[in-house]
């Protein structure tokens, strides 16, 4: 008999109660006991919901207080020595210290989870002596069974994926580290088996990337060891985000089931099944419901896909599930009461995806006639959206087609522009700036809320924003920053703000997803053709410039980042969506320049995360991503300085594309991975202006001058001092005023020390 499951459920709760609990604990408003009680109730409510929706095999241990990779590290006692861990179960202050930093210890590095907008904490293996500190999957299994009678499916990150995502060891030490980790995994699995666990989901998403022959052999060793140690345990080797590489090797592993992504990885995985079949003795976890998309599934199409799979796999060896964890989509579309009917009818968030999984399972078990009405309703909802006026704007489509056929370039090469800009701006050696945003205090958020509710009129709100701009322009001048920003106090989010002002976007009321830690974002929905309506940033930027003689940067979010941090329509290519966004942003860039703003920053922090996992597709993506940026920025005068910003970027694998963007200045997040990035520049020359972030804004600590000076000196071993800028890692929106001012003062002092040192050379 076919059963239903999925790969994981969102942590945050329909009302972000998880986030609120975390932040209350961090703020000292609740103690540890109250925090743990709240977290347990949230966790159990999620399980109750899945029970009620008829999911047969419910995942457990997919819940986390912060991040599932961090959970795996602390389960094995892998804690950096600077946090003073002395063994045993890792205390919560140490756990959160690793993630967020403490007064005395820098946080561990945070980076993107494959090609998603989720961030994980990078385990640091250097000097670690792994042990099983606590069996978290076992605790989760017992809780679900004792409290709710659920025979859960524990979820664990697999050894090879965990190791590949970690740092602090040499490639030659890979086998040594697996030798350390495998016995600990065996201990976890044996304790689960002894408890009566039937299924365990072991996530190995690394198998969708290109593996070496050694890695394939390592997988064989890992899962042979598991099979021999726990022969009674049903292991579902779960893959996601793409089709698996080395298909025949992976499906031959001694596990009970293989979970395949049949949404993003449908083409490749289906081709492999057609060519090589699927082992008769294994269960196929058919990930037919897209765990990363908010759009309702074409259920007739999914049933046709399942019918094809059933020619190879018997019904009792088929589990219908999501393509990946539902962590990447909002919790429920039920309360989205303000969306247009044509749009709301086509949405499916996590809860609706569970309904789709259950419905498809019923259709397979009882026949399509048993769900005839539901299938028709889904088809009609998709038809209505496809035929909407918002998706069929000929003016946009024709204009973008003309622009996309051209090759956008600045009038002069960088070296000539740089000379013009130096003459125009007369900046000192090592100019200092920030990335854009300043602290969004409770007062700022309250003012915005009053304005949105209509309790403040436009004049009141504008006066408040101007006052905030005045305060921070004066502070920046007093601190000694060379190139200022207006602070972005009018913006809730760097993508949402622009989406609200462009046509073709819609906004949910409760469509929150976790980005990192308690940081949740509410991505806009690109559901129609994107079009420029009116100037979006000119008023605030011009006002800030009127308050100072120093240059003020205009601040925009780039087309690729807006796209990658939005939920994107799936009826046209992402390349076409990017060009529509770029054309709209070009009009904003031109409006800023016309208004007298001669420095314009177009941030692209999300370019890297959109990089396809398949090497064969990466060059094509980077080519049109670069083109989209240049469409937005290439029409300005030579004296207009274009800046951009990137975070969490593995620079070495796309340095040529970043240079091809031809931005006059790029700032890059580096403080959590400074050494690795500097190594990239030792291997590659970068000839444009660049600022490597000299301190981590995600940590509440105030870094010292000496610490920043060390980062500057190391960077200048491989970068041209005449092209080097000094700035924080990212925007300062989430930081407090006092720590922001103190950190920036130290940064300016470090810049002055560098000027004194290098001016004499």
466 included as an active-site residue: no
- Only one residue has tokens 């000299």, namely 694
Rounded to whole angstroms, the Cα distance separating 600 from 554 reads 4
Task: Write out the binding residues for Zn(2+).
Answer: 645, 647, 669, 730
Q: Name which of 132, 107, 131, 134 is nearest 121 in CA terms.
A: 107
Helices (H), 606-723: 615-633, 655-660, 674-683, 705-715
Other CB atoms within 10 A of residue 89 CB: 13
**Token representation of residue 568:** 């994107």
| Strand 257-261 with 234-238, pairing | parallel
Which token pair is 581? 């966004």
| CB-based contacts of 27, cutoff 8 Å, min separation 6 | none
303 close to 286: Cβ distance less than 8 angstroms = no
Please name the residues in contact with 244: beta carbons below 8 A apart, sequence gap of 6 or more: 207, 208, 250, 260, 265, 268, 269, 272
- Which DSSP string do the residues of 60-87 spell out, in sequence order? ES---SS-HHHHHHHHTT---GGG---S
For residues 248, 254, 257, 260, the Cα torsion angle rounded to the nearest 10 degrees is -30
Q: Which residues of 365-387 are buried (b: 16+ CB within 10 A; e: fewer)?
A: eeebeebeebbeebeebbeebee
Residue of 46, 68, 317, 698 marked active site: 698
- What are residue 601's phi and psi, to 5 degrees? -100, 125
Of residues 262, 326, 365, the one with CA closest to residue 6 = 326
Using CA atoms in the order 116, 119, 125, 130, what is the torsion angle rounded to 10 degrees?
-100
**Residue 322 CA to chain centroid, in angstroms?**
19
Strand partners, 119: 112
Q: Which positions make up the binding site?
A: 16-19, 112, 117, 435-437, 488, 519-520, 565, 603, 609, 645, 647, 669, 730
Tell me whether residue 300 is exposed, middle or buried, using C-beta atoms within 10 angstroms of its C-beta: 0 to 12, 13 to 18, 19 or more.
Answer: middle
Residues of each annotated binding site for L-homocysteine: 435-437, 488, 603
Cα 515 to Cα 506: distance, rounded to the nearest angstrom = 20
Output the known binding site for L-methionine. 435-437, 488, 603
Q: Which residue has the tokens 């099983």?
A: 132
Enter the DSSP assignment of 107.
P
Nearest to 659 by CA among 590, 607, 703: 607
CA torsion 337-339-343-345 (nearest 10°) is 10
Could you give the CA distance from residue 104 to residue 107 in angstroms, rounded to a whole number? 10
What are the phi and psi torsion angles at 397 (to 5°)? -60, -40
Binding site residue list for 5-methyltetrahydropteroyltri-L-glutamate: 16-19, 112, 117, 519-520, 565, 609
- Residues 577-587: b if buried by 16+ CB within 10 A, e if exposed: bbbbbbbbbbb
Query: What are 137's two structure tokens?
Result: 């999957």
Long-range own/partner contacts, residues 532-537 (CB < 8 A, 24 or more apart): 532/502, 532/503, 532/583, 532/584, 532/585, 532/587, 532/588, 533/501, 533/502, 533/503, 534/501, 535/588, 535/591, 536/497, 536/498, 536/501, 536/502, 536/588, 537/588, 537/592
Q: How far is CA 464 from the centre of its chain?
A: 32
d(CA 499, CA 505): 6
Q: Are 106 and 82 in contact (CB under 8 A)?
A: yes
**Six-digit token pair at 310?**
């059933």
Tokens 């290519």 -> residue: 573
Active site residues: 698
């Amino acid at each position: 008999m076919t059963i239903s499951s999925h790969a994981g459920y969102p942590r945050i709760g329909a009302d972000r109660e998880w986030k609120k609990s975390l932040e209350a604990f961090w703020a000292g408003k609740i103690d540890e006991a109250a925090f743990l009680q709240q977290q347990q109730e949230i966790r159990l409510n999620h399980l109750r919901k899945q029970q009620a929706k008829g999911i047969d095999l419910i995942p457990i241990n997919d819940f986390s207080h912060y991040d599932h990779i961090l959970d795996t590290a602390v389960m094995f006692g892998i804690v950096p020595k600077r946090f003073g861990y002395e063994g045993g179960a890792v205390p919560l202050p140490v756990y959160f210290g690793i993630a967020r930093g403490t007064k005395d210890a820098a946080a561990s590095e945070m980076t993107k989870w494959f090609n998603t907008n989720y961030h994980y904490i990078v385990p640091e293996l250097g000097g670690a002596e792994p042990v099983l500190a606590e069996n978290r999957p076992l605790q989760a299994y017992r809780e679900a069974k004792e409290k709710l009678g659920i025979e859960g499916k524990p979820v664990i990150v697999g050894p090879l994926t965990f190791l590949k995502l970690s740092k602090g060891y040499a490639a030659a030490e890979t086998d040594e580290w697996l030798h350390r980790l495998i016995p600990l995994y065996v201990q976890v699995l044996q304790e689960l088996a002894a408890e009566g666990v039937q299924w365990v989901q072991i996530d190995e998403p690394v198998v969708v990337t290109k593996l070496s022959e050694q890695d394939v052999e390592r997988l064989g060793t890992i899962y042979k060891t598991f099979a021999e140690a726990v022969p009674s345990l049903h292991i579902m080797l779960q893959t996601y985000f793409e089709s698996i590489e080395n298909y025949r090797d992976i499906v031959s592993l001694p596990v009970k089931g293989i979970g395949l992504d049949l949404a993003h990885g449908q083409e490749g995985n289906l081709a492999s099944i057609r060519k090589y079949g699927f082992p008769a003795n294994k269960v196929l976890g058919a990930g037919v419901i897209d765990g990363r998309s908010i759009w309702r599934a074409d259920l007739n199409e999914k049933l046709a896909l399942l019918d094809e799979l059933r020619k190879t796999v018997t019904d009792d060896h088929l589990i219908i599930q999501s393509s990946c964890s539902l962590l990447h989509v909002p919790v429920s579309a039920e309360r989205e009461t303000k969306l247009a009917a044509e749009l709301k009818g086509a949405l499916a968030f996590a809860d609706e995806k569970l309904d789709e999984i259950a419905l498809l399972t019923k259709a397979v078990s009882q026949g399509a006639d048993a769900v005839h009405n539901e299938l028709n309703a889904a088809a009609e909802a998709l038809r209505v959206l496809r035929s909407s006026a918002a998706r069929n704007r000929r003016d946009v489509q024709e204009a973008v087609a003309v622009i996309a056929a051209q090759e956008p370039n600045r009038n002069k090469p960088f070296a000539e522009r740089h000379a013009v800009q130096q003459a125009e701006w007369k900046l000192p050696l090592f100019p200092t700036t920030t990335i854009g945003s300043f602290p969004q205090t409770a007062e700022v958020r309250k003012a915005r809320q009053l304005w949105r509710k209509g309790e403040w009129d436009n004049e009141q709100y504008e006066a408040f924003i101007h006052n905030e701009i005045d305060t921070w322009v004066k502070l920046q001048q007093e601190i000694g920053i060379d190139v200022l920003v207006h602070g972005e106090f009018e913006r809730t989010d760097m993508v949402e703000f622009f989406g609200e002002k462009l046509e073709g976007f819609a906004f949910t009321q409760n469509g929150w997803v976790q980005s990192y830690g308690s940081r949740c974002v509410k991505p806009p929905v690109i559901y129609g053709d994107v079009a420029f309506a009116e100037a979006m940033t000119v008023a605030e930027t011009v006002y800030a410039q009127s308050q100072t003689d120093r240059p003020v940067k205009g601040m925009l979010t780039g087309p690729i980042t807006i796209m990658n941090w939005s939920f994107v329509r799936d009826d046209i290519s992402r390349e076409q969506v990017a060009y529509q966004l770029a054309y709209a942003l070009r009009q904003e860039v031109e409006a800023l320049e016309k208004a007298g703003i001669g420095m314009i920053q177009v941030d692209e922090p999300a370019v890297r995360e959109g990089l396809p996992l398949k090497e064969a597709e990466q060059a094509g993506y980077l080519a049109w991503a670069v083109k989209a940026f240049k469409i937005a920025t290439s029409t300005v005068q030579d004296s207009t300085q274009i800046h951009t910003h990137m975070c969490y970027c593995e620079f070495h694998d796309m340095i040529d594309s970043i240079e091809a963007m031809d931005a006059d200045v790029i700032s890059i997040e580096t403080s959590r991975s400074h050494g690795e990035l500097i190594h990239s520049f030792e291997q590659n020359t970068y000839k444009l202006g660049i600022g490597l972030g000299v301190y981590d804004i995600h940590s509440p600590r105030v870094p010292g001058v000496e610490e920043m000076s060390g980062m500057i000196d190391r960077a200048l071993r491989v970068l041209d001092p005449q092209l080097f800028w000094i700035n924080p890692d990212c925007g300062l929106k989430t930081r407090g005023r006092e720590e922001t001012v103190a950190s920036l003062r130290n940064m300016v002092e470090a810049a002055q020390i560098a000027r004194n040192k290098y001016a004499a050379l």
